[in-house]
Amino acid sequence: MSTIVGIDLGTTNSLVAYIRGDRPEIIPNEQGRRVTPSVVGLDKRGRLHVGETAKNQLVAMPDRTVAAVKRLMGTSQTVRLGERTYTPQEISALILKKLKEDAERHLGRIVHEAVITVPAYFTDAQRQATKDAGELAGFKVERILNEPTAAALAYGLDNLDKEQYVLVYDLGGGTFDVSVLEMFEGVLDVKASAGNNRLGGEDFDRRIVEHLMRLFEREHGISLAGDLKAMARLKAAAEQAKCELSSVDSTTILLPFLAFSGGTPLGMETELSREQLELLIEDLVRSTLEPIDIALRDARLTPAQIHEVILVGGSSRIPLVQRMLAEKFGKEPRRDVNPDEAIALGAAIQAGLKSGSLDISRGIMITDVCPFTLGVEVVGNTGFQKMSGMFSPIIPRNSTIPISRTEIYSTTTDGQQVVDIKVYQGESRLVKNNVFLGAYSVHGVPPGPAGAEKISITFTYDINGILNVKTRILSTNKEETLRIERSSQRLTDEERQQARLRLQAEWGAGAQDDLQSRPAESVPGALPAPAVADPPTAAPSAPVPPASPVQPSPAAKPSASVKALVAAAEKKAREVDPQSRARIEQLVREIKQAVALGERTEAARLEEALTNLLFELE
């Protein structure tokens, strides 16, 4: 039987666990500690360090050390360690490789496979990047598990006889997730998930750092913003103070020799109270309430129906977080689940179920959900004009997975022989505000009048978040397929092999000082974006929409699409009742004002609101 472990690949710390007997157990690292800092460093002799030793050099050599790389997963950004350049997948692979070696040293045998956890709200690109990192580290990765689901598994193992609704509140170093589950007869049924991939303890640390910078500049008249070493020291002090203030009311921050002025060393000594910390981060903590409400609404539950609130992630220890949740749910959150270890323990349980080392006769079964709506770009018809760039959902968010769903579309132009399919994930009615996943073309459509040919599009979404798309021309039964497991940021097979060989060489040859740096790996460009039409009509090819929202330029000139939308709205306003006319005219005025002021984000929001209103009035 091959050895399989469960891994919590965290923003701040990472852990590895396995099943011993019939219980999950954390595997200590080489230093005997249960958590390994998610930090990678390159010393001046060209040797790679991972974990505690890398964290120790962060303050002294910030330009040769990287932390919190999890936030870069699924992007095309690169990381520099001294003279070398790495992708986020490669840095994460080094962390995973360290965990793999620690596990093999502890177990005395080769570890072939891992179940790796990711935030429930991770996008497709982020999940695929995590899988890439695992494979680069030498793992077989067949299972990606959502972090709140893993935590629920750790809780559920000792509560199999209970029937209750559980909310998992997962506030880690870089991400926030919330999942609502129903437990009954050993089944853990995930009802809904929501979250924010850009919120966590790192943001709390940043608020403290900004506060300390203001104090230092006010006292000495010097900004520390451009000093890498000073900023690294501030960051380390902020993190330590945040942790201490979870158990004490006040702490002292002492940082000598932060800067020099005329040869005179300048430092700072200041008190930071829990009350001050809460004032600095209260808006961030309160912002987690909205995803909670979304998850509860999607699960069709009220706070009063939640039996237990489980805290996960180191930042959930903050007293403000716990008070807020107690106020929200009318009960104290559970504190008997270790927030640092729950995810890794749950991953180990899933690994044990997969390998058979954990007896399935105990009755443990888990379901999960798709965290985002999945669909295609369409040409919508509002009755007054055709509008391209609309999003047609096929799999709604929080659908239980695995799932397969089919929708029927049709051609939009006379004589159309090619239909281009663009696949997106997101919740906006406009594809430009959603995330582009992939594209392909369906050729061989029999020419005919617009709307005559029907095309079925089937989405199949599996338990690892891999989407398969199948398109069939109904009149000819011709099929085309697309497997969405390669985002534009994912490594190609060739890049993956090159990265694997490179990491093996650098990991095993750390004592060499003459390793050459390499340029950043080029990242494949996005696929050309096709278009399909909303029932009853599919669109001909269209330009590639970017994955991020297209917003009006700051030159105060509305784009062609905004002009067309405003013209359509003004025409519609003449046909509707006075109340609806007033709503249209108000939105048109606000759009024109936002464009004139160059407020791109606000203009994009108003454009979507006006589009939604026009569809509602049809």
Known catalytic membership, residue 8: yes
524 close to 132: Cβ distance less than 8 angstroms: no
The one-letter code for the residue type at 565 is L
Nearest Cα to 8, choosing from 339, 390, 485?
339
Cα separation of 220 and 259, whole Å?
Answer: 10
Cα separation of 558 and 412, whole Å?
Answer: 27
Measured CA to CA in angstroms, residue 456 lies from 394, 417, 426, 538 at distances of 11, 15, 21, 10
Bridge partners, residue 146, by sequence: 118
Bridge partners, residue 409, by sequence: 455
Nearest Cα to 213, choosing from 227, 196, 200?
227
Cα separation of 539 and 416, whole Å?
Answer: 9
Nearest Cα to 134, choosing from 92, 86, 87, 174?
92
Among the listed residues 102, 170, 308, 506, the single catalytic one is: 170
Paired sense of beta strands 140-146 and 113-118, if any: parallel
114 close to 5: Cβ distance less than 8 angstroms: yes
Among the listed residues 147, 308, 407, 521, the single catalytic one is: 147
Measured CA to CA in angstroms, residue 5 lies from 139, 151, 367 at distances of 10, 15, 20
Cα separation of 348 and 6, whole Å?
Answer: 4
* Stretch (H or E) spanning 55: helix 52-56
Known catalytic membership, residue 147: yes
Nearest Cα to 349, choosing from 189, 149, 97?
149
Question: What is the CB-side half-sphere exposure of residue 402 using CA atoms within 13 A?
Answer: 11
Known catalytic membership, residue 22: no
Known catalytic membership, residue 420: no
Encoded tokens for 494: 């060739």
> Which sign does the torsion angle of CA 603, 608, 612, 617 carry?
positive
439 close to 475: Cβ distance less than 8 angstroms: no
Nearest Cα to 65, choosing from 93, 36, 86, 35?
86
Cα separation of 213 and 424, whole Å?
Answer: 41
Measured CA to CA in angstroms, residue 548 lies from 269, 313, 436, 574 at distances of 43, 29, 8, 34
Among the listed residues 55, 70, 100, 235, the single catalytic one is: 70
Active site residue ranges: 8, 70, 147, 170
